[in-house]
Structures are given as C-alpha cells and as structure tokens.
Structure 1
Amino acid sequence: MFDPHTLTILSLGFVLGLRHALDADHLAALSTVLAERPTVQASTAIGFFWGLGHTLMLLCVGGLLLALNLTIPDTLASLFEFAVGVMLVVLGLSLARRIYREQWHLHTHEHDGQPHVHLHSHHLKPDHAHGHWYQGSLRPLLIGMAHGLAGSAALMLIVLSTVTGIGQGIGYIVVFGVGSILGMVGVGAILSLPVVYSVTVGPRAYWMVQGLACLASIGLGLLMMVRIGLGGGWS
C-alpha cells in the first residue's frame, strides 16, 4: 500500500509525535489543568483533548503551508513561542488564584452509588453539583491548539526536508498528531498518579502538589519569555 520511503517517513512521524508529548512546556501546561481534577480518568481525557487540539492546529497550519509551499518566518515562530510562555504564566497564576480565592478543598461524595473525590468549592456552589471530565474538554483543547501553533514552524521544517509531496506531508502530520495524542494520554495518566496519591494522604499534600504545578508552570513560562526575548530561542 505504501512504498518503503513513505512507511519510513510515517513511522518517524509517529515516534517523534510520541516524543513531542514529553516537551517541558507541554508537561507544565498539562499539569496545571489536570491538577484540578484528581482522577486518572479525567487526566487521560485532558491529555486526549490537549493532543487533539494540538493535532488540529498542526493540520490546519501545515496543510495551508504545504499547499502554498511556504514556511513560517523565524520572527513569527518566536512570537508564537513567546505567547506560549505567557500562557504558561497565566495558567500557573490562574490555578493559584482559584485555589486561594474560591476556597477549594477535597470532598468525597457519591454518584450512582460510586464514591469518588473531587476538588470542590462551597464558595461557588452551596451544593455538590459539579462538571465531570467531559465538560472540561474545551480548555485543554484550546491549550493544545496554542501549543500546536507554536510548534508548527519547527514541524514544517522537518516535513519539508523529509517528504516528497503534499500527500506525504499531510500523512506525516497526521501520524505525528496521533503519536502526540497517545503520548499526551499516557503523560496525563502518569502525571495524575502523584495528584491522586496526594488526595489519599490529605489536603495538605494535595495543595503541595498543586503548588508545585503552579511554580513549574510560572517558572518555565518566565524562562521561555526571557530566553526568547534575549534572542536565544526556545525549541
């Protein structure tokens, strides 16, 4: 069905997509979102929607650039990466502000006879109604799209130097995206483990994990902004 060269390119794209999920800025952004939902199910769903948004943006930008035979200028690529740094700082500050101002705490209750734990705020709602994982898909989707836009320049350099046609280019982006989705689902599950474990230890341990996620996101975001601002680049 595929010639050996195409199979090699697609395999490479899939492996690089898996590896791409482990980038530090991806881990920092994901941790701030899943730290609010201390369950493996919610964390893997967040990873999936992050990867989906990332892939959709890469396909939109990559398909357009391939069709027009264009590349993203270095100055614009740096601007996109700087915007990701700003987003990481905002995500970290947003999580810290939410915990502090909305009086978040851990609360165990039942749905359909199944007990589970949720991050919960009586300051916002007097009862125990809350949204589940599928209702919080938009935020990680948009965050993934922002990361996809920032990473599109580097990906297109690889694509243009590897593929021999627009069909191979789109195929490469698709399998790269599938790899990144699977990678982010796995990363989400792994990163959820210390969060879930801290819930069993107690509120103080959970807040410490939350605090680490805040500091990591803010610190990495500031580092990205400084390095890009000084002309050193990030990726």
Structure 2
Amino acid sequence: MEIGMLSILGAGFLIGMKHALDADHVVAVSTIVSESKSLRRASAVGVRWGIGHTSTLFLAGLLVLGLGIKIPEKISLSMEFAVGLVLLWLGVSTIGGYLVNKVHAHRHEHDHEHSSHLHFHYHKESEMHEHEHKPKVFRSPMLIGMVHGLAGSGALMLLVLSTVSSPLAGLLYIMIFGLGSTAGMLIISTLVSMPFVVTATYAQKVNRYISLAAGSISVLAGILMMINIAAEMMA
C-alpha cells in the first residue's frame, strides 16, 4: 500500500476519533451511561455505539460507492431530525427514571383491614433501590449508534468521494474511520461515566441529581436540534 493511501487512512482514523466528539454523540452516550454502575459497562456502551455507527456508515458506503446511489439531502436531514428525537427520548426516559426512583406506589395490607390500598412514599438516600421501568431496547447504544451513522453518512460520503480513488479504498477508509470513532467513543463513555459510577456507590443522592441533569441536557439538545433541522428543511 502506497504512502499516500496510508496517510489518508491514518487521517481517517483521527477524523473518526474527532467525529465521536460531536455534541449529539456525547450527549446521547452521556445520557445512557448515567445509569452505569461500573466503568466496564460504561466502556461497553461506547463500543456498542461505535459498532452500530460503523455498520450503517459501511452500508451507506456500499450503496454510494458500490452501486452509485446518491443520498438525497432530504433523507440526510430527516435522519438528523431523528437524532433529535432520540436525544429527546433518552432525556425524557432518564428524567422519568429519576421520578420513578424518587416516588413509588406500593400496595399494603393491614391486619385490621380486609382490603389493601396503595401507599405512595419517597425513598431516602439509604433506601434507594433499582427498578427496571425503562424500555431498554429503545436505549440500546448500538441502535442509537446506527441512527447517528445514518445521519452522518451523507457528509462522510462526500468526504470519501473527494479523498479516495476507488470504491474499495473508500470502504476501507470508512472502516478505519469507524474504528477511530469507536475508539473515541470508548474513551468518552469511560471518562463521562466516572462521576456516575462513583456517586452511585458513595453519594446516591448526588447520583440522582446528575442523572437528572444529564436527562435535562439531552431533552434540551434534542429539541434545539429538531428546531434547527426543521427550519433547514423548510428553507
């Protein structure tokens, strides 16, 4: 492989790592790892996001480079709008999880009564316990990575087409780019999860507050992104 191509692939890896730092990527993964109780699981979130992200980029590469199919701008914008919806959903579900962990309803029976009733109560910090209320399938890092990959495929294909000289080289560039973005997200998810992992063990009240903050940021980012994309689509 010639030196020029090696330089292009090396640049693709670095660009992929930088791509992982895009605000919508960081916000999405940060919201997911807000539930993490271990660095290992948080790191796995970054890797799974990278696999999903790379898979859709590679599929787009096959269509564009292999079959000569162009990605319409409206489809690219629609996928970016979908990213905004994903951020909104992640934020809302995280905030919902905070509220569910904060207030619970339990059915109690009393010896002096023949009927049961619902009892609402707040959990103290020492009484916090886990509940599986969130539909995890819609918070899958791989699925979210796939949506991000589709949203960014149009811009990447333009970069690839202007950089490489053959479809095979273009697909190789996409794979290297994907490896770079996966490596970058692995680092980001691990670093971002540290406050959540530490507070989950030693300061559960703080953990709930920073999880609430992460969810709120995700909601705001999703709404702003959808507004901007909608304005661009109507322009």
Query: What is the TM-score when the length of structure 2 is the normalising length?
Result: 0.83
**Aligned-partner SS, 2:232:** coil
1:32, distance to aligned residue in structure 2 (A)? 1.4
1:119, distance to aligned residue in structure 2 (A)? 6.7
In the alignment, does 2:25 pair up with 1:26? Answer: yes
1:65, distance to aligned residue in structure 2 (A)? 1.2
* Unaligned residue ranges in structure 2 (runs of 5+): 104-122
1:52, distance to aligned residue in structure 2 (A)? 0.6
**Percent sequence identity over matched residues?**
38
CA distance in 2, matches of 1:77, 1:185: 26
Cα offsets for 1:41-76 (capped at 9, x unmatched): 110001000001101111111112111223312111
Aligned residues: 212
Q: Which runs of structure 2 are paired with 1:19-98 in the superposition (5 Å)? A: 19-98=18-97
CA distance in 2, matches of 1:42, 1:50: 12
Indicate conservation of the 8 Å contact 1:62/1:170, yes or no. Answer: yes
CA distance in 2, matches of 1:75, 1:64: 17
Answer with 1 or 2: which has the greater Rg: 2
The amino acid that maps onto 1:220 is A
Aligned to 2:98: 99
Indicate conservation of the 8 Å contact 2:35/2:196, yes or no. Answer: no
1:194, distance to aligned residue in structure 2 (A)? 1.4
1:38, distance to aligned residue in structure 2 (A)? 2.4
CA distance in 2, matches of 1:159, 1:69: 13
The amino acid that maps onto 1:39 is S
Query: Structure 1 residues 170 and 119, CA, compared in 2 at 3 Å: closer, same or farther?
Result: farther
CA distance in 2, matches of 1:184, 1:119: 29
In the alignment, does 2:130 pair up with 1:120? Answer: yes
CA distance in 2, matches of 1:24, 1:56: 21
Aligned to 1:142: 143
Greater shift in the superposed pair: 192-201 or 30-39: 192-201
The amino acid that maps onto 1:120 is E
